[in-house]
Amino acid sequence: MKKNVFFIALFLAILARSVSFGGPVEDGNKIIAELAQEYVDKSGPAQTFSYGAILDDKNNREMFRVPSLLAEATGLDFVSLATIQHIGGDLGLYSTALNLPDSLEGKAGALKILERRQLKNFERGYYENYFGVFSGEDVSARSAKMAEEVWEAFRAEYGDLSTSDPETLAKKYAEVSEVSDLIGLDIVPLAGIRVMGGLSGFFYFLTLLPEELPGREEAIKIITRERKKSR
């Protein structure tokens, strides 16, 4: 019995030296801290015009909304993530997320946030990759999902609208109300896309909806007219 206890104790001692018990969050923080430092060493300190050095406070969390969301999803250090985005841009942040430990809780959610974020660029190829090529599924349900996901991408980046009341939005954005009635989609995400993406962004979004969606062509004409009026 004593012999067995000795070998168990020896095994645990060796294991303690060879295996890190830090956990995925600690390992992830080490990865992003090293990457952030590499960016700083190459490009200089991460400082913003408005608030100076990046700190974990309300102002910086509002300025760097996506790193803040990633930090909330994973438990990782906000300052390191914000530094990587500030110096390395979107690509630097995405490549960092890809290289986080697979065992890190929230990694999949973090990648989803970053993948969704690209929807605000309105690239047809990316939309087809993200949503899948349209192949006869419920066209209204697919369109509604597209509107919700694109609005979520803008909201993650810039925050929410001042109101989500449909009647208020309809009065404030008459052209969005017309489009909402024509294509049968909720006015709230449509208004969000219109506000954050501008008339041009809203136009491009409508062109990316399935051609089979009832009212789509007329909706595009309405926004085309509004774009011309605004020039």
Assigned domain for 113 exists: yes
- From first to last of its 231 residues, the chain has per-residue pLDDT tens of 544 544 454 344 434 433 444 689 999 999 999 999 999 999 998 888 888 999 999 999 999 999 999 999 999 999 999 999 999 998 899 999 999 999 999 999 999 999 999 999 999 999 999 998 777 679 999 999 999 999 999 999 999 999 999 999 999 999 999 999 999 999 999 999 999 999 999 999 999 999 999 999 999 999 999 998 887
Residue numbers of the domain that contains 155: 141-230
State whether 111 and 155 are in the same domain: no
Amino acid type, 72:
E
Assigned domain for 204 exists: yes
Assigned domain for 108 exists: yes
State whether 99 and 45 are in the same domain: yes
State whether 103 and 153 are in the same domain: no
State whether 108 and 151 are in the same domain: no
CA atoms within 13 A on the CB side of 16: 6
Assigned domain for 38 exists: yes
State whether 148 and 70 are in the same domain: no
| Tokens (6 digits) for 112 | 């989803």
Q: How far is CA 223 from the centre of its chain?
A: 26
State whether 30 and 98 are in the same domain: yes
Amino acid type, 99:
N
Residue ranges in the chain assigned as alpha helix (H):
2-18, 24-43, 58-63, 65-74, 78-98, 107-117, 124-131, 139-158, 166-172, 174-183, 187-208, 216-230
State whether 115 and 145 are in the same domain: no
State whether 64 and 31 are in the same domain: yes
Assigned domain for 128 exists: no
- Number of Cβ within a 10 Å radius of residue 204: 17
Q: How many domains does the chain have?
A: 2
